Structure 1
Amino acid sequence: MNFHEDTFEGGWKEFKGYAQAAWGKLTDDDLEMAKGGVHVLEGMLQKEYGMTVEKARDEIDALIERYDNMAYDGEWKEIKGKIQEAWGDLTDDEVEKTAGRKSKLAGVLQKRLGHNRSKAWQEVNKFVEKNF
Structure 2
Amino acid sequence: MNWDQIKGNWNQVKGKAQQQWGQLTNDDLDIIEGNREEFVGRVQERYGIAKEEAEKQVDDFCNKCN
| TM-score under structure 2 length normalisation | 0.87
AA of the residue aligned to 2:46: E
Alignment of 1:1-132 (within 5 A): 3-4=2-3, 6-35=4-33, 37-67=35-65, 69=66
Quote the offset at 1:10 in angstroms.
1.8
CA RMSD of aligned residues (A): 1.2
Structure 2 spans left out of the alignment, 5+ residues: none
Conservation of the 8 A alpha-carbon contact between 1:8 and 1:35:
no
- Flag structure 1 segments of 5+ consecutive residues without an equivalent: 70-132
CA spacing shift, 1:24–1:65, aligned 2, 3 Å? same
Verify the 8 A CA contact 1:34 1:40 in the aligned structure 2: yes
Quick one: which amino acid aligns to residue 58 of structure 1? K
Amino acid of the structure 2 residue aligned with 1:15: V
Q: Distance in 1 between matches of 2:34 and 2:8?
A: 13
Amino acid corresponding to residue 8 of structure 1 in structure 2: I
Asked which structure has the greater RCO (Cα within 8 Å, sep 6+), the reply is: 2
Residue-by-residue CA offset, 1:18-55 (whole Å, 9 max, x unaligned): 10000001111100111151111111111110111111
> TM-score, normalised on structure 1?
0.46
How many corresponding residue pairs? 65
